[in-house]
Amino acid sequence: MMKPIVTIICVSRNNARFLKQFAESIAKQTFQDWKVLFIDDSSEDESVEVVRKALPADRLQIIESESRLGYPALMEMAWNMADTELVCFLDGDDYWASEHSLRYMVEGCEGHDAFFGSAIFYMQSAGCYLPCSSRCWGFSDPFPYMFRTGDSPFTLSAIFRKSVMPKCSPFVRRFSAADYSLFLEFALHARNVAYSKQVIGVYRRHDTNITLTTHTGARFLHRAEECRSGLIETYGRDFIFNQIKHRQGDFL
């Protein structure tokens, strides 16, 4: 197989019960120019076996961590390992909403540094779907907005051009909200982002979902402040605030 143009990154721990649906949603995509980088964070279930059976070997790279390293460190590792033109993310307990989701993202990213779509929630305990708040901000340059608000695109509904940020900084691994810190650093380098209200992915809310315990209320504000401080520490206060001053996020 020729080198694909999209790496689908999955950092997962103990998601065996959900990984079959995760893998099926990838395998059925009408856009087939992809590979999966699956990093298992020392799972205590059959996660690796499920993924290995569900996805073709020539499209799958599995890395098994012998000890638990945590989501942030593995997100940094995965981004830096990806060697394709485009990179997207799909957690092991989530799945894409349709067989065209990856195609929507790839086509939406054409001529842009990134593409941000929409998503919905699946409430596991109730067996029902709920809408997510829209994150189609409309800024071609989203960095000032993301920095000020702590908001970030839906992880499973965004795709990124790797050449914009070939490597991420070690500061990403310092925060539990590794998706926000990684995307915030990417936005610092990006200038041209596309948006769509098209539902790309489905977030599964369940009893062990990190979203339920770390991404709400005061904790959300605290993790955003930590990430902003880390970015300032990494790049320098003057540089970051000059970026904020001169990049007001042109509205599309």
pLDDT classification of 247: cutoffs 50, 70, 90: confident
Question: 251 lies in a domain?
Answer: no
Q: What is the pLDDT at residue 134?
A: 66
Residue 252, domain member (yes or no): no
Residue 202, pLDDT score: 93
Looking at the predicted structure, is the pLDDT value of residue 126 above 60? yes
Q: Does some domain include residue 116?
A: yes
What is the residue range of 15's domain? 6-246
45 DSSP 8-state letter: S
Q: What is the pLDDT of residue 71?
A: 85
What integer is the mean pLDDT of 51-55?
Answer: 96
pLDDT in tens, 32-46: 999 999 999 999 999
- The label of the residue with tokens 């809310």 reads 205
Contact 176, 223 (CB under 8 A): yes
The total number of structural domains that make up the chain: 1
Asked if residue 127 is part of any domain, the answer here is yes
The model's confidence at residue 2, banded by pLDDT at 50, 70 and 90, is low
Q: Taking residues 3-30, what's their average pLDDT?
A: 94
Structure tokens at 80: 């830096």
* Distance, CA of 64 to chain centre: 20
Tell me: pLDDT of 252 over 60.
no
CB 90 within 8 A of CB 186: no
Q: Can you read off the two tokens belonging to residue 72? A: 């942030």
Asked whether residue 241 is domain-assigned, the answer is: yes
Distance CA 113, CA 109 (A): 7
Region 6-12: mean pLDDT is 96
- Cα 5–Cα 195–Cα 166 angle in degrees, nearest 5: 40
Q: Considering only residues 174 and 192, tell me which one the structure prediction assigns the higher pLDDT.
A: 192
Q: For Cα atoms 64, 65, 67, give the angle at the middle one, nearest 5 degrees.
A: 145
Is 240 part of a structural domain of the chain? yes
Tens-place pLDDT, residues 67-88: 888 888 899 999 999 999 999 9
The model carries a pTM of 0.91
Contacts of 233 (CB under 8 A, 6+ apart): 171
User: Which pLDDT does position 217 carry in this prediction?
Assistant: 54
Q: Where residue 156 sits, what CATH number does that domain have?
A: 3.90.550.10
- Is 1 part of a structural domain of the chain? no
Task: Give the pLDDT score at 214.
Answer: 47
DSSP letter for 67, please. Answer: S
Q: pLDDT tens digit string along 140-162?
A: 899 998 998 888 899 999 999 99
pLDDT at 117 over 90: yes
In a domain, 230, yes or no: yes
